[in-house]
Structure 1
Amino acid sequence: MTAPDAVRRRFRHHVWAGSTLLGVIADHPAPDALRPFAHALAADRVWHHRLAGAPTDGLEIWPALDVDGCRALLQETTDDWQAFLAGPLDLDGPAVYQNSRGEPFESAVRDVFDHVLLHAAHHRGQANAALRAAGATPRALDFIFWARSGEPAP
């Protein structure tokens, strides 16, 4: 498997994990679960815009979203990432961007992808912990669980 194909595969897990978590949150809408999940979705959008060279002005990092807002943002960012990942990927190329404070940075594209996936996993874990604290039973979202299950679609 080529490195770009491996990134695409990890993003398929990323979409599945987000969709799966959203299903649990929809059944048990705990505000403490929505907040980190909405943040992860919003950060995905910001990073996509950065890599695509689109403006990030006005994109919230910590939006206050309900389940429907999360569903819409998940679909939008999934569509954006899938279109982006369908093209050629120069993983060693530079990603030139500004952070939310306007400070300039340059990172390897592969490092941005790893950050997006790890950042989202961290916040999905926070959301799962909040669901458990609210009495819900979270779903296993780990990559290996997804891979062993035949890589189910979202």
Structure 2
Amino acid sequence: MKSIFTFLGTFVLGALIALAARTARHDPHAGHDTTGSTTTRGDYAPMVNNSPPLSSTAPAAHSSHPAPAARDPHAGHPAAKTPVNSLCAICGMKVDPSLPTMEYQGQTIGFGCKICAPKFKAEPDKYGPSYLRNELIKR
């Protein structure tokens, strides 16, 4: 019994020493060039700059013109079709609206997970009728 406790104590002590050594060597900014940058975000600063551009003719606070309305990101896109099914016929899960849909006999089919769409695409006539009836495939 004494040897088990000795082993466990040695194991835990070794793990703590290894963790401390790894933490001491870790450099989170290794490989990132932040020279010339006024922020700590490095190369990401231009991508995440959401501030409006400053006008050189008039300060933004004294502008008499209202700010332009934001462009509708969905303008020019057709409305997303609602799937005819609420249940995925392959996996049995509820249809995930964030996943892409497919067409079967003029109807929009939704899927419960990413794995189901390729299965449906490979054998649409096997799975399609169950999707249209909104039922799980009987195996």
Smaller-chain TM-score range?
Answer: under 0.3
TM-score by length of 2: 0.17
Which structure's residues are more often helix, by fraction? Answer: 1
- TM (norm. structure 1) is 0.16
